[in-house]
Structure 1
């Protein structure tokens, strides 16, 4: 994080942290590198200080720091112990703690030995693996952090959303920059689709060359530190081919929103000449591909979504889909293009649903597919995503699976061009950009 930049609010996540403040649960913030986890800890520290907690009650350790590179679980424990104030509640913040071997033993000891409230960040789901859960099972809460939403993107880049009366009645939204220049929401959304939502881009500005340089750094760090280094820390050597890893990344990035199996990945890479054949072609086994894919999921680079059969009421084991955590990173990997815009829009909607607290699956009803079933404890909705609803054949295709669903939960089609009709037999047709800007 750029120390000269004022911390921008990430209220959705900060409110979750505050909600668990002073409970015995260890708060664990997870997410891809550079998505804002360190800044979130700093926002929490600011909140503590503003509510009366003294600076000496707060211990911060960032294990990305060169000064802390050789620390062990024992030395972390000693470092904290020396700073404990008698009869005062302590607040302990550990950034990228997974870099310390057996860190969970130190954290468990803090819980037992001191009156403290503990906050941790990690850039790899290995942090929450079975070895970890044996120490803190039931005593931790995970707060999953994502890159910026469209609304957060506007805020980070100092755009204001203004609503004015339209000459034809109703309200019209305008996006206004710090110089007073005005843009349509669609223009601002196109910038979001171009640059993505990594917070660091706000430091370099909406400059393509600088943004790509920043995204390259994030990509390299994820691959080298959170995948290759993680294998070394585990004492394993299952991911040995950096070239194969990159090609699987490129394949998944190119196939967001497509039904994919691990066996098909290896076959496609071979058939398209993406693997060097040599004198004896070497096809990676489905098991090997799965290990590489799992590593990408663990580093929060890609997210997998399962299919749910609405009639059989069960999750299907075959042909899930993958979405990439940030469209800007995808643009860095594949270049800027428009040919699969529908799947890119799906990608944006999928992560927005996660931000809003939904569990998300693909829906299957007979031979038709619903892009997303989004569920919370109190709500369920079915969502289709398409670029435009103005073409009659596209309308029929998008509405058909929703029309077959027998229940009465909300059914929505999100598109950039909804057309004049706001609903079709009770199925809402909403502007995707307006939906992203809804509170």
Structure 2
């Protein structure tokens, strides 16, 4: 057994010590490079290693390399290919390359490995530059990305074996949802319900994925920007409003630096920026953005008591992304804001845990303006259906909506 197989076996051996939670994400099969992207510690490495083990158990040839290990970061693609062929002299080899954004010149090296056609390539990365929409042009047509977010509520409820039939079970599912809204779905944090692990995770993302990668010099200023941005989740903001808020707390920073720091956080999958729905690119660019966190647990570090309404809105945003939608927010012609609209499907979703009756007219107005016949209001426990003219408004509890099975996110 050679060096790469030894490393692969060592990593695979660690799987038996991990408490597995089955995921709803599947890795596609084909000749394209498959990139599993998402935030640090969301389970990308585990999913990749599980896939490698399944292949080896079925008699296939597979190798795993982590570019978190410095010895591999400067390696040439041809040298890596030679090492793989020392392990498996003939036949196709599945290469699993972890944290590939740390590999110097990763895009051109992946293209070379792809073009020699000896390998099926699976890569992971904790930077958004590995998403299909942002990759360099030399990889276009050779590449597909799959986003892996922290555990969904559906995944953790399945792991906790909570079924929903009786009133007792419905009470249990709401208690589980409260827990999930508090701790979020990062695997280690969820399993141990640990504030310490949440702090450690956020510090790692700040220092490794933002400050080190982008060489941020003024750590104190960046952390102030990050604190304000995280505190503004589920709210509309502008670059100027962030700058003014910082200035009022004694941090003087220009708008360009604010934009850069928020973009670094976006690239590290700490936050998502949601645009206003409009058919004019210029209007969308000028309008405020809404900020959502990659996981609701992050807000726990800065928010007490919990703002359940904003957490719920953030959860709904993440679930829409998991289901393969691209959410926008919408402002009706009369100036009323609707939480989510998806452009292609024209789906309208409003989050109103309480007083949902006040939102029926607004979503019906949005439906009329957008030319669709139905909308959804997500509540805490109310359920039913309302009619406004020929528009149907479905009322559904948050837990039930989050548990809905969907096939849209399957490759």
The normalised TM-score by structure 1 is 0.81
Q: Which has the higher helix share?
A: 2
Structure 1 position 185 matched with structure 2 position 173: yes
Give, in whole Å, the separation in 1 of the partners of 2:94 and 2:149.
24
Q: Is the Cα contact below 8 Å between 2:239 and 2:259 reproduced in 1? A: yes
- Aligned-residue Cα RMSD (Å) equals 2.5
Specify the alignment match of 1:13 in structure 2: 25
Matches within 5 A, 1:37-436: 37-50=44-57, 52-54=58-60, 57-64=61-68, 68-75=69-76, 77-84=78-85, 85-128=88-131, 132-155=135-158, 158-164=159-165, 172=167, 174=169, 183-203=171-191, 205-206=192-193, 211-232=194-215, 239-271=216-248, 273-275=249-251, 283-309=252-278, 316-317=284-285, 318-332=287-301, 334-338=302-306, 340-366=307-333, 367-375=335-343, 379-389=345-355, 395-406=357-368, 407-418=371-382, 421-425=384-388, 426-436=392-402
Give, in whole Å, the separation in 2 of the partners of 1:138 and 1:28.
13
Specify the alignment match of 1:280 in structure 2: none
Give, in whole Å, the separation in 2 of the partners of 1:163 and 1:368.
35
Q: Which has the higher strand share?
A: 1
Matched length? 383
Give, in whole Å, the separation in 2 of the partners of 1:72 and 1:261.
38
Query: By how many angstroms is 1:274 displaced?
Result: 4.7
Unaligned 5+ runs, structure 2? 1-13, 406-411
Q: Deviations over 1:348-400 (max 9, x none)?
A: 10001111111111112211211101355xx43201101213xxxx5224532
Partner of 1:74, secondary structure, is coil
Give, in whole Å, the separation in 2 of the partners of 1:190 and 1:372.
22
Instruction: Rate the CA distance shift 1:131–1:302 in 2: closer, same or farther, 3 A.
Output: closer
Q: Is the Cα contact below 8 Å between 2:277 and 2:343 reproduced in 1? A: no
Q: Is the Cα contact below 8 Å between 1:365 and 1:405 reproduced in 2? A: no
Q: Deviations over 1:259-293 (max 9, x none)?
A: 1011110111111x252xxxxxxx31111100001
Unaligned 5+ runs, structure 1? 167-171, 176-182, 233-238, 276-282
Query: By how many angstroms is 1:432 displaced?
Result: 1.1
Q: Is the Cα contact below 8 Å between 2:64 and 2:97 reproduced in 1? A: yes
Give, in whole Å, the separation in 1 of the partners of 2:108 and 2:126.
19
Specify the alignment match of 2:4 in structure 1: none
The normalised TM-score by structure 2 is 0.86
Specify the alignment match of 1:279 in structure 2: none
Instruction: Rate the CA distance shift 1:87–1:196 in 2: closer, same or farther, 3 A.
Output: same
